[in-house]
Amino acid sequence: MSHVDERTARKVAEEARETEWRLPSFGKQLFLGDFRLDLIHPHPRPTDEARRRGEEFLAELTEFCATKVDPALIERDARIPDDVIGGLREMGALGMKIPERYGGLGLSQLYYGRALMVVGSVSPALGALLSAHQSIGVPQPVKLFGTQEQKDVWLPRCARQISAFLLTEPDVGSDPARLRATAVPDGDSYVLDGVKLWTTNGVVADLVVVMARVPKSDGHRGGISAFIVDMDTPGITVENRNAFMGLRGIENGVTRFHGVRVPAANLIGREGAGLKIALTTLNTGRLSLPAMCAASGKWAAKIAREWSRERVQWGRPVGEHEAVSKKVAFITATAYALEAMLDLSGQLADDERGDIRIEAALAKLWSSEMACRVADELVQLRGGRGYETAASLAARGERGVPVEQMLRDLRINRIFEGSTEIMHLLIAREAVDAHLSVAGDIIDPDASAGRKARAAARAGGFYARWLPTLVTGAGQRPNAYAEFGPLARHLRYVERASRKLARSTFYAAGRWQGGLERRQGFLGRMVDIGAELYAMSAVCVRARSDGGASRILLADAFCRQARVRVEELFDGLWRNTDAMDARLARAALAGDFAWVEEGVLDPSIPGPWIGPSEPGPSDREDVHRTIG
Ligand SMILES: Cc1cc2nc3c(=O)[nH]c(=O)nc-3n(C[C@H](O)[C@H](O)[C@H](O)COP(=O)(O)OP(=O)(O)OC[C@H]3O[C@@H](n4cnc5c(N)ncnc54)[C@H](O)[C@@H]3O)c2cc1C
């Protein structure tokens, strides 16, 4: 499997998709021009019991984090102290989402998110430890796909032990079709071989979920499969503890499996279902990162407010200079939206009345992007102090405000659990699913002429019914959504924009047909518009539910800011440099512009100060050529 072509990669991704939509989806309908406000309004609420349990735990957790966790120490030592993990274990924080009958706390998704927000606000590394274990590690797939016996065996352990999720390999990132790790059946076991990279918690984990390929053979359907592996099993070595730009405290490693014997009873689901299990786990698992982002947003709002008032330059607090006040407005409004999106998505997940896979994916995508913008603006607002480390600030007698750390810690959210680029494709795939399901064969290069003709007839009927629904809607009625008061106009805008988005997708499908899936610039903007519309909807519904003039005002401000972004995105759908950029990139990759790189050194190539060494990359002719 060293070489996998694009078609195979897509096929593997497609097979891992959940294709059915059994429950209504606000997100999916939004992309189809059908603004189903009724699916999110009135704002869903937790049951009294879920609230009581959640609030009790939050109080205990907040007290613990405020008194027992020293964020500066974690940052300085790049380690989470044992007593912190011990304390969290004692209060049940390793089993927040595990049902009580298996020794967990049985918290709802809403309160799990709020708990991560509290932990993430003191230490994102600690938040990453908890979420890698509970959102993607062993407990969630076992809860969702395990047999009763597996639940009885593993869930009580997961409530007290740390686990990790091992999919990525040196050659396998966004594209799992290249997966190399193997699990070869041998009697009543499988024998695991392979190397897993960037295993969050992998260095300290007691249990891991490993994705490995089972070869097809007699009695074995084979395919990428998910295994629970006890880290005590002989043959496992952790070869490196990786260090990163941020999240310095995470225990992330390279884990090698060499002839590791795993009982067949540890297979989750069936052979070949591994990727589907991973993706389904991520449906709600993806809501952890928005929790981290919401935590950052809230803290950024506090620091922005405090510093903009305190710091006086040019005769006024910096917050009174318009350029800075705009940042305060952006940070504050976005903080409210980040929380609104997190809570709404979490509560929708708890209610189980709708399918939230698009909402959770939009929340991951939007939150990780917006939180980075917030952090960047906060650095700017703090000036030189934004760039200075908290330790250095404290060493010279100032308050140690870790703003640069926030920027570094947040950056990974745009890369892991589905990079922004992959989230764009994944959401676009779901969003245009209605088109593909009726018109799929028309644009499928492998379909026969007969299949194409039948698909064309089917598509004609579908579009004849669907297109008229995109022409008019509630958004054009001046009194629509009146119960939202000053926010009604924003919901009318969302309704109109949702139809415009669907019309744009329809035009694009007609224009590019099968080529649409390659128009990543177009698809990315389309998804970003959907994400902004979801954020606007979440904020309006939240503000209406919270009540109070201050919340309505902030929601109004957020929606106005979001509308400016949406308009730019709509504009960019048809006016952009995508085609030229693609040509330019092809030429750049071919080396046509290598002259741009002249006149500087490449620090990644060892210089003579490293001393005599093995022939390294610097000895290669092509490397010399690229630096001129
Ligand atoms: C700190 C950290 C923690 C991690 N924790 C875990 C973990 O616990 N478990 C685990 O299994 N993995 C983990 N990962 C791996 C992480 O999920 C991957 O880094 C991520 O999936 C991206 O893969 P990649 O880095 O190989 O990038 P690549 O897949 O090589 O992508 C490189 C770039 O190309 C883009 N790209 C790739 N394919 C396409 C496409 N078809 N269209 C458009 N753009 C594309 C990507 O978005 C990216 O910008 C972690 C990584 C880090 C850094």
Percent of all residues in the chain with a pLDDT value above 90, rounded to a whole number: 80
pLDDT, residue 439, reads 63
CA of 416 to the centre of ligand 1 (A): 6
pLDDT, residue 458, reads 75
Question: Per-residue pLDDT averaged across 210-217, rounded?
Answer: 97
Note whether 248 and 301 are same-domain residues. Answer: no
With respect to residue 453, please indicate whether it lies within any of the assigned structural domains: yes
Looking at residue 206, which CATH number applies to its domain?
Answer: 2.40.110.10
- Is the Cβ atom of 9 under 6 angstroms away from ligand 1? no
Note whether 108 and 213 are same-domain residues. Answer: no
Question: Per-residue pLDDT averaged across 188-193, rounded?
Answer: 98
- Is the Cβ atom of 254 under 6 angstroms away from ligand 1? no
CA of 569 to the centre of ligand 1 (A): 25
Looking at residue 148, which CATH number applies to its domain?
Answer: 1.10.540.10
Note whether 413 and 460 are same-domain residues. Answer: no
pLDDT, residue 436, reads 64
Number of domains forming the structure of the chain: 5
Cβ neighbourhood burial of 484 (10 Å; 0-12, 13-18, 19+): buried
Which residue puts its alpha carbon closest to atom 35 of ligand 1?
421
Domain limit, last residue, from 396, 412, 427: 427
With respect to residue 117, please indicate whether it lies within any of the assigned structural domains: yes
CA of 411 to the centre of ligand 1 (A): 13
Residue 612 clears pLDDT 70, i.e. is over it: no
Listed residue (300, 271, 279) closest to 402, CA to CA:
300
* Tokens found for residue 414: 């745009």
Residue 388 clears pLDDT 80, i.e. is over it: yes
Q: For residues 476 and 347, give the distance between their C-alpha atoms in angstroms, rounded to a whole number.
A: 30
Note whether 381 and 347 are same-domain residues. Answer: yes
pLDDT, residue 628, reads 31
**Is 63 an active-site residue?**
no
- The DSSP element (H or E) to which 174 belongs, if any, is none
Listed residue (335, 326, 334) closest to 381, CA to CA:
326
Residue 239 clears pLDDT 50, i.e. is over it: yes
The residue range of the domain holding 339 is: 282-427
With respect to residue 193, please indicate whether it lies within any of the assigned structural domains: yes
Q: What are the Cα distances from residue 494, in Å, to 339, 375, 530?
A: 19, 27, 9
Looking at residue 345, which CATH number applies to its domain?
Answer: 1.20.140.10
With respect to residue 322, please indicate whether it lies within any of the assigned structural domains: yes
Q: For residues 49 and 400, give the distance between their C-alpha atoms in angstroms, rounded to a whole number.
A: 40
137-157 burial: b if 16+ Cβ within 10 Å, else e: bbbbbbbebbeeebbebbbbb
pLDDT, residue 523, reads 95
Mean pLDDT of the chain: 92
With respect to residue 6, please indicate whether it lies within any of the assigned structural domains: no
Question: In 10 A of CB 501, how many CB atoms?
Answer: 26
- Is the Cβ atom of 200 under 6 angstroms away from ligand 1? yes
Which residue puts its alpha carbon closest to atom 23 of ligand 1?
173
- Is the Cβ atom of 419 under 6 angstroms away from ligand 1? yes
Listed residue (384, 448, 452, 428) closest to 518, CA to CA:
428
Reported as a pLDDT band with limits 50, 70 and 90, residue 5 is confident
Q: For residues 3 and 17, give the distance between their C-alpha atoms in angstroms, rounded to a whole number.
A: 22
Note whether 258 and 392 are same-domain residues. Answer: no
Q: For residues 133 and 207, give the distance between their C-alpha atoms in angstroms, rounded to a whole number.
A: 9
pLDDT, residue 621, reads 43
Note whether 293 and 419 are same-domain residues. Answer: yes
Which residue puts its alpha carbon closest to atom 8 of ligand 1?
200
Listed residue (272, 330, 259, 262) closest to 301, CA to CA:
330
Note whether 231 and 359 are same-domain residues. Answer: no
- Torsion sign, CA atoms 288, 294, 300, 306: negative
Question: In 10 A of CB 583, how many CB atoms?
Answer: 11
Residue 136 CA to chain centroid, in angstroms? 12
- The DSSP element (H or E) to which 377 belongs, if any, is helix 357-381
Listed residue (1, 26, 6) closest to 354, CA to CA:
26
Q: What is the pTM of this model?
A: 0.94
Q: For residues 518 and 525, give the distance between their C-alpha atoms in angstroms, rounded to a whole number.
A: 13
Residue 261 clears pLDDT 90, i.e. is over it: yes
- Is the Cβ atom of 242 under 6 angstroms away from ligand 1? no
User: Residues 486-514: pLDDT tens digits?
Assistant: 999 999 999 999 999 999 988 888 888 77
Note whether 96 and 66 are same-domain residues. Answer: yes
User: Residues 471-488: pLDDT tens digits?
Assistant: 899 999 999 999 999 999
With respect to residue 31, please indicate whether it lies within any of the assigned structural domains: no
Domain limit, last residue, from 277, 299, 329: 277
Domain limit, last residue, from 277, 312, 346: 277
Q: Show the CA angle centred on residue 587, arms to residues 8 and 423, nearest 5°.
A: 40
Reported as a pLDDT band with limits 50, 70 and 90, residue 623 is very low
User: Residues 108-153: pLDDT tens digits?
Assistant: 999 999 999 999 999 999 999 999 999 999 999 999 999 999 999 9
Contact 348, 45 (CB under 8 A): no
Note whether 553 and 490 are same-domain residues. Answer: yes
- Is the Cβ atom of 416 under 6 angstroms away from ligand 1? yes
Cβ neighbourhood burial of 574 (10 Å; 0-12, 13-18, 19+): exposed
Helices 322-351 and 357-381, axial angle in degrees (round to 10): 160
Which residue puts its alpha carbon closest to atom 17 of ligand 1?
416
With respect to residue 35, please indicate whether it lies within any of the assigned structural domains: no
pLDDT, residue 24, reads 92
Question: Per-residue pLDDT averaged across 171-178, rounded?
Answer: 88
Contact 334, 297 (CB under 8 A): yes
Residue 607 clears pLDDT 80, i.e. is over it: no
For residue 9, which atom of ligand 1 is closest to its CA?
41
Note whether 153 and 173 are same-domain residues. Answer: no
CA of 177 to the centre of ligand 1 (A): 14
- Is the Cβ atom of 145 under 6 angstroms away from ligand 1? no
* 249 or 282, higher pLDDT: 249
Q: For residues 202 and 209, give the distance between their C-alpha atoms in angstroms, rounded to a whole number.
A: 10
Reported as a pLDDT band with limits 50, 70 and 90, residue 427 is very high
Contact 226, 278 (CB under 8 A): yes
Note whether 405 and 450 are same-domain residues. Answer: no
Which residue puts its alpha carbon closest to atom 13 of ligand 1?
198
3-state secondary structure of 175: coil
Q: For residues 534 and 188, give the distance between their C-alpha atoms in angstroms, rounded to a whole number.
A: 48
DSSP 408-437: HHHHGGGTSSS-HHHHHHHHHHHHTHHHHH
Residue 627 clears pLDDT 60, i.e. is over it: no
DSSP 35-99: --GGGT-SPP---HHHHHHHHHHHHHHHHHHHHH--HHHHHHHTS--HHHHHHHHHTTGGGTTS-
User: Residues 341-363: pLDDT tens digits?
Assistant: 999 999 999 999 889 999 999 99
pLDDT, residue 6, reads 75
Q: For residues 165 and 226, give the distance between their C-alpha atoms in angstroms, rounded to a whole number.
A: 10
* 465 or 384, higher pLDDT: 384
Q: Which residue of the set 75, 417, 430, 495 is catalytic? A: 417
Contact 158, 139 (CB under 8 A): yes
CA of 295 to the centre of ligand 1 (A): 23
Contact 507, 403 (CB under 8 A): no
Which residues, 6 or more positions from 305, have their beta carbon under 8 angstroms from its beta carbon? 319, 328, 332
pLDDT, residue 617, reads 44
With respect to residue 396, please indicate whether it lies within any of the assigned structural domains: yes
Which residues, 6 or more positions from 144, have their beta carbon under 8 angstroms from its beta carbon? 277, 280, 281
Note whether 543 and 469 are same-domain residues. Answer: yes
Q: For residues 347 and 42, give the distance between their C-alpha atoms in angstroms, rounded to a whole number.
A: 12
- Is the Cβ atom of 347 under 6 angstroms away from ligand 1? no
DSSP 318-341: GGGSHHHHHHHHHHHHHHHHHHHH
Least confident segment among 17-26, 35-44, 343-352, 570-579 = 17-26
Which residue puts its alpha carbon closest to atom 44 of ligand 1?
421
Residue 613 clears pLDDT 60, i.e. is over it: no
Which residue puts its alpha carbon closest to atom 43 of ligand 1?
421
CA of 275 to the centre of ligand 1 (A): 15
Is the bond into 42 cis (omega within 30 degrees of 0)?
yes
Contact 280, 20 (CB under 8 A): no
CA of 114 to the centre of ligand 1 (A): 26
